[in-house]
Structure 1
Amino acid sequence: MIRIHFIVNPIAGHGHASFTKEDLQPYFIRGIHELTVKISEYKKHATELTKSSILENANIIVACGGDGTINEVASCLIGTNIALGILPMGSGNGLASNLKIPKKRRKALEIIRNKHIEHMDVGKINGRYFFSNTGVGFDASLIKHYESSEKRTLLGYIRACATTFRDINKNTPLSIVVDEEVPMANPFIILISNSNEMGYKLSLTPKASLQDGLLDVLVIKNISRIKMLWLGFLILIRKVHWLKESRSFQTKNVHIKCNQSDFFDTQVDGEHKRIDTNELTISLVEKSLFVLTPQ
Structure 2
Amino acid sequence: MKDGSLHIHFIVNPIAGKGGPPLSKQFLEQFFVSGLHHLSVKHSTFKKHAIALTQKSIEENADIIVACGGDGTINEVASCLVGSSIPLGIVPIGSGNGLATNLSIPKNIRKALEIIKNQNSIKIDVGKTNDKYFFCNTGVGFDASVIKNYESLGRRTLSGYLRACLTSFQELGSPQKVQININGLNFPINPFMIFASNSNEMGYRFTLTPNASLQDGLLDVLVITKIGKLKILWLGLLLLLNRPYLLKESRYFQTNHLELHSVDGGSLDSQVDGELHLVEDGMISIQIVKKAIEVIVPSNIQE
SS in 2 for 1:204: coil
Amino acid in structure 1 at the alignment position of 2:178: S
* Bigger mean CA offset, 19-28 vs 102-111: 19-28
Compute the displacement of 1:154 (Å): 1.1
Corresponding residue number in structure 2 for 1:149: 153
Output the CA distance in 1 between the equivalents of 2:110 and 2:146. Answer: 33
Output the CA distance in 2 between the equivalents of 1:211 and 1:71. Answer: 17
Compute the displacement of 1:54 (Å): 0.2
Compute the displacement of 1:182 (Å): 4.3
Corresponding residue number in structure 2 for 1:219: 223
Amino acid in structure 1 at the alignment position of 2:181: V
Contact 1:6 1:64 in 2 (8 A): yes
Structure 2: give runs of 5+ residues left out of the alignment.
none
Q: Deviations over 1:220-251 (max 9, x none)?
A: 11111100000011101101121111111100
Q: Where in structure 2 are the equivalents of 1:26-41 lying within 5 Å?
A: 26-41=30-45
Output the CA distance in 2 between the equivalents of 1:15 and 1:40. Answer: 18
Structure 1: give runs of 5+ residues left out of the alignment.
none
Length, aligned pairs only: 294
Does the C-alpha gap of structure 1 residues 68 and 107 become closer, same or farther in structure 2, counting only changes over 3 Å?
Answer: same
Q: Where in structure 2 are the equivalents of 1:14-25 lying within 5 Å?
A: 14=18, 16-25=20-29
Output the CA distance in 1 between the equivalents of 2:164 and 2:59. Answer: 40
TM-score with structure 2 setting the length: 0.94
Does the C-alpha gap of structure 1 residues 250 and 172 become closer, same or farther in structure 2, counting only changes over 3 Å?
Answer: closer
Equivalent of residue 174 in structure 1, options 174, 177, 181: 177
Corresponding residue number in structure 1 for 2:167: 163
Equivalent of residue 71 in structure 1, options 68, 75, 82: 75
Corresponding residue number in structure 2 for 1:261: 265
Contact 1:117 1:293 in 2 (8 A): yes
Contact 1:120 1:211 in 2 (8 A): yes
Equivalent of residue 291 in structure 2, options 280, 287, 291: 287
Q: Where in structure 2 are the equivalents of 1:180-259 lying within 5 Å?
A: 181-259=185-263
Contact 1:66 1:92 in 2 (8 A): yes
Output the CA distance in 1 between the equivalents of 2:255 and 2:63. Answer: 33
Q: Where in structure 2 are the equivalents of 1:94-173 lying within 5 Å?
A: 94-169=98-173, 173=176
Compute the displacement of 1:15 (Å): 6.0
Q: Deviations over 1:65-84 (max 9, x none)?
A: 00000000000001110000
Identity of aligned residues (%): 55
**Alignment pair present for 1:50 and 2:54:** yes
SS in 1 for 2:180: strand
Contact 1:13 1:152 in 2 (8 A): no
TM-score with structure 1 setting the length: 0.97
Corresponding residue number in structure 2 for 1:278: 282
Output the CA distance in 1 between the equivalents of 2:161 and 2:215. Answer: 29
SS in 1 for 2:80: coil
Q: Deviations over 1:48-106 (max 9, x none)?
A: 00000000000100000000000000000011100000000111110000000000000
Q: CA RMSD in A?
A: 1.2
Contact 2:175 2:192 in 1 (8 A): no
Q: Deviations over 1:10-36 (max 9, x none)?
A: 001326531111111121111111100
Corresponding residue number in structure 1 for 2:95: 91
Compute the displacement of 1:176 (Å): 2.3
